[in-house]
Each structure stands twice: as C-alpha cells, then as structure tokens.
Chains A and B, each alone.
Chain A
C-alpha cells in the first residue's frame, strides 16, 4: 500500500469536475503520473520500436555464442529485452531457448535434452487418451439463475408452508410410557414397514422379514442392469412400466391393508366399524 503509484492530482480533479466516476478519474490520473515520471527519466513513451528489440536480441546471442555473459546455463537472458517479448520470430525464439539450454545448434526439444544436466521438464506431453473428450449436442438450455432457482425456491416455500400448517393443527402422537410387560392390543410398525408386517401374516418371519426385503432391495438395485432397453420413451417400454406399476400397486395395497384394515391382534377389521387402528 505504501509504495503505491502517485496520482496526478490536477488531472484527477479535472476529471472529477467533468463528472467522471471516481474509479476512472483515479486510473487516468495514475497513468498521467507514470507518463510524467518516464519523461522525466528520459525514456521514450509508447511501444518500443521493433528494430531496437531485435538489436538487443542480436547482442544477447553474440554474447551467448562467445561464451560470456550468461552466468548459468539455465538463467534466462537477464533484463534488457523485456520489451522484445512479443516480437520474436519462431526461429529467434528457438535460438533463445537453445541458448539458455546451452546447446546452440540443436533443434529445441520438448522434453529433457539428452545432453543436458537438467532434470526438470519444460513441458509435459499429454497423450490424447489422457484427455477427457466430451462430445455433446447443442441443447435447449436456460440459465439456472433466475429460472431454475426461482422454481426451486417456490417449491421450497410451498412445502414449508404446508408443513407449518399441518404442524399447527396436528400434534405428533405421544402414548403412555413404554412398558415391555404390556403388549398393546394394536401393535403396528411405521407405515413404510407395514408392507413387511402384512407379509409376516402370510410367510415365515425369516421370509417376510429378511429374505423378501433383501430380494426387493437387490432387485431394485439391479434394475438398470437388467433393463437393457435403450429407449426411455414410455411407448417403447410398456413391459417395464407395467411390471413396476404392478410392484408399486402390490406394495401400496399391502401398506393400505396393514395400516387401515388391521385391528387388535392384527385381525381384519373395517375401520368404520371398529375405528382406525393407525397412528402416524
């Protein structure tokens, strides 16, 4: 912060007076100050002429060829030709690289030159197979902000509102203290496990409680590997859709039966006769 470039106060005040923004006025005033400083040092302003740069390079190469001047082999040509950076021909550039590597006559190589003592690489070669090539068709897309984020925000608000209203009017149940010695008349798992509990009615507990759920889970995970049909269009996958709908319906039915049509002792009841034996 301390050695910041001085600004030309006069220029700054003038520009502010003209109604320019603070930022622009400051930048221009800074530039003016730098310009003045350079003139004071006797430097020329503006881009350096090309001849001057080439001349500096020639000088440098002569020095390099005669073995003097360059202290270490790796040392980049010290100072002086900073202004020449952008104006080298490919040959000149190659010569410069070669000079700094200490092997004037050979063509520049990408890796470590065999004759050199250097062990670091200037460039890494990446085989084409090492590059992830992504090819995709141009798609009809819209900006995430504002389009998607707005939709998401509305969905989020709607759900929050719904939950708040529900929570305001319906209290979560709390029964009497847990008592391992007193089996309640109606004894049910949470609704998402009612399908399993209903199965328990028909099968041995090992089948209903362990084998079938295991088969369902593994079966679900296997779906993408079993369904080899490449089309995602409903027209082309009637069998898959039918099978899944059947599975969902079957499961839904078990949950509904278990939740609403089972009463004391897990016997069949009609809720309008015996009341709803179901707690969320």
Chain B
C-alpha cells in the first residue's frame, strides 16, 4: 500500500504528466500486450527513427548486419569521447608553443582515463570508416538502392565522404610526425586540382604549407563544421529510410 502511494505521488502530478505523454508506459504501466508494445514505441523519442512495426526479415542479423546502426552508434560514441578530449586540447602549434603536441603527451601521462578515452576515439574512428564501407557494400549487394531508394544511396555516398573527411581532419590534431606527413601526402594531391590548385590548397591549409593555421582550421572543421554537416545528412538519411517504406527486401 505504501509503495503504491509513493508511486501515485510521483506519477500523479502535472510535472510528471507533462514529461510523459498520455499512453506512455511511465504513466500507465506496461503489460506485455500488443497494445503496450505499440505504445512503448510510439511514446518514445526513438519514434523519430523507428516505426511501431518493422519487417520481420530485417531483424535477422544477416540482413543488415546492423552496419548502418553501428555506424551511427560509433558516430555518437566518437562525439562523446571527442568532447572529453576537447577539455584537454588546445589547437596551438608553432615554434616555441607546441601546445597541441604537449597536450597529447599530458593526456596519456596525467589525465585520468585520458589514454583510454583517446584510444577509444582513435579505434572508434577507424572502426566507423570500416563499418560505413561495409554498410555500403551490404546495401549494394542487396540492391537496396533501387527505387524508391536511389536518393538515399546518394545521401549515403555523401555520408561516406563526410566520414572520411572527419577521420582525416582528426588525423592532423596530435601534431606529431605521423600526423603532419600523412596529411601532407593528402593535401599535396589537392594542390593538383586543375586551374585552382593553389587556391584550393591555400583554403585548406590557411597557408602555403601545413602550419599553425592549418591546425586551427582543421580543428574547427573536425570538431564543429563537419560533424554539423554530417548530422544534417544523417537526419535526411534516416528520414528517407522511413519515407521509403523502411528497409528494403525481403530479397
């Protein structure tokens, strides 16, 4: 009885009811019935991503291999670990002020869990590039880009490009030899863009060669600009999956 009163006191007031929609399982309880299963999906923010019911064949691990979902999850994980890293990192380089590089040193030497979080961020980034590639292959072999999903494939290719750019801009930030020269290989190629080669390279580097300006520029691209654009395209991607009738198939 006392337990019930407490529950009533917590749930039977305007604040609680303003948070949970009518029909939410947090308002009226959950019994394992079809109705409550439907309500659990409907009165949930995940309703933006998932419909109430999905095709049975899509549940089999061997249909999607969860690759799209895992790409998205890795993106979230990278955002979280990335925010942690931002607390301990300053994008400053240049003779006498090698702050960025020293920050990376400190991260592993004196920040609690610093090394672990950096590792998660690094391996997570490689994993995401990999899962996005595999996701693309999965979609191709299922012919899942066929009408009405043509445009979502195009959005996907843009997401692939954005994933690569996210990864690549992050690669420069530790400001060690590995970063500097790996990025040099890439940006040198950009310099061969027909006609506008020099201009393209200057915009990318903020200088004629990789230097402190490049670091600042790529830092902003990495932590703000590209993630923002990626989120926009992810929204379109997920919206189209639902508008196109859920995932494709069965084959």
Q: With contacts A189-B182, A231-B143 known, is A178 near B93, CB below 8 A? A: yes
Q: Which of B56, B69, B119, B168 contacts A142 (CB 8 A)?
A: B56
**Judging by beta carbons under 8 Å apart, are A163 and B124 in contact?**
yes
B237 at the interface (CB under 8 A from A): no
* Chain A hits for B98, CB < 8 A: 177
Binds B, one of A52-60, A73-81, A122-130, A146-154: A146-154
What is the bound-complex CA distance between A156 and B73, given in angstroms?
7
**Judging by beta carbons under 8 Å apart, are A280 and B126 in contact?**
yes
**Judging by beta carbons under 8 Å apart, are A210 and B176 in contact?**
no
Residue of A nearest to B123 (CB): A166
Produce 1/0 per residue, A205-232, CB < 8 A to B. Answer: 1101110000001001101110101111
What is the bound-complex CA distance between A143 and B69, given in angstroms?
18
- A-B interface, 8 closest residue pairs, ranked by CB to CB distance from nearest: A209-B189, A232-B143, A167-B119, A224-B150, A172-B122, A178-B180, A175-B176, A141-B53
**Judging by beta carbons under 8 Å apart, are A136 and B245 in contact?**
yes
Q: With contacts A206-B194, A237-B143 known, is A183 near B181, CB below 8 A? A: yes
A44 at the interface (CB under 8 A from B): no
B38 at the interface (CB under 8 A from A): yes
* Chain B hits for A148, CB < 8 A: 50, 54, 58-59
B161 at the interface (CB under 8 A from A): yes
Give 11 new A-B contacts, CB below 8 A, not counting A178-B176, A189-B182, A227-B145: A140-B56, A147-B59, A148-B58, A170-B119, A174-B108, A184-B177, A184-B181, A225-B150, A230-B146, A232-B248, A280-B123
Q: Which of A22, A142, A224 contacts B149 (CB 8 A)?
A: A224
* Chain A hits for B90, CB < 8 A: none
Q: With contacts A155-B70, A159-B73 known, is A143 near B52, CB below 8 A? A: yes
Chain A min CB distance to B249 (Å): 7
Residue of A nearest to B185 (CB): A189
Chain A at the B interface: mostly helix, strand, loop or mixed? helix
Produce 1/0 per residue, B216-251, CB < 8 A to A. Answer: 000000000000000000000000000001001101
Category for how many chain B residues contact A: 35 or more
Q: With contacts A178-B101, A180-B180, A221-B153 known, is A190 near B168, CB below 8 A? A: yes
A168 at the interface (CB under 8 A from B): yes
* Chain B hits for A167, CB < 8 A: 116, 119-120, 123
**Judging by beta carbons under 8 Å apart, are A221 and B120 in contact?**
no
A173 at the interface (CB under 8 A from B): yes
Q: Which of B46, B140, B141 contacts A149 (CB 8 A)?
A: B46
A residues with a Cβ closer than 8 A to B are: 22, 136, 139-149, 151-152, 155-156, 159-160, 163-164, 166-168, 170-180, 182-184, 187-193, 196-197, 200, 204-206, 208-210, 217, 220-221, 223-225, 227, 229-234, 237, 240-241, 244, 248, 279-280
**Number of A-B pairs whose CB atoms are under 8 Å?**
209
What is the bound-complex CA distance between A240 and B85, given in angstroms?
43
Produce 1/0 per residue, B89-103, CB < 8 A to A. Answer: 000010000100100
B190 at the interface (CB under 8 A from A): yes
B77 at the interface (CB under 8 A from A): yes
Q: Which of B66, B182, B251 contacts A232 (CB 8 A)?
A: B251
* Chain B hits for A197, CB < 8 A: 185
**Judging by beta carbons under 8 Å apart, are A244 and B190 in contact?**
no
Q: With contacts A210-B194, A241-B141 known, is A141 near B174, CB below 8 A? A: no
Q: List 21 A-B contacts (CB under 8 A).
A: A139-B55, A141-B55, A144-B53, A174-B108, A177-B101, A177-B175, A178-B175, A178-B177, A190-B171, A191-B126, A193-B168, A206-B193, A209-B188, A210-B189, A221-B157, A224-B145, A224-B151, A227-B146, A231-B143, A244-B140, A280-B126
* Chain A hits for B34, CB < 8 A: 143
What is the bound-complex CA distance between A200 and B182, given in angstroms?
14
**Judging by beta carbons under 8 Å apart, are A175 and B59 in contact?**
no
* Chain B hits for A163, CB < 8 A: 77, 120, 123-124, 127
Produce 1/0 per residue, B176-214, CB < 8 A to A. Answer: 111111101110111111100000000000000111000
**Judging by beta carbons under 8 Å apart, are A232 and B123 in contact?**
no
* Chain B hits for A210, CB < 8 A: 189-190, 192-194
Produce 1/0 per residue, B55-99, CB < 8 A to A. Answer: 111110100001001100110010000000000000001000010
**Judging by beta carbons under 8 Å apart, are A143 and B174 in contact?**
no
**Judging by beta carbons under 8 Å apart, are A176 and B37 in contact?**
no
Q: Which of B157, B185, B189 contacts A188 (CB 8 A)?
A: B185
Q: Which of A192, A206, A241 contacts B192 (CB 8 A)?
A: A206
* Chain B hits for A231, CB < 8 A: 143
**Judging by beta carbons under 8 Å apart, are A223 and B140 in contact?**
yes
Chain B min CB distance to A158 (Å): 9
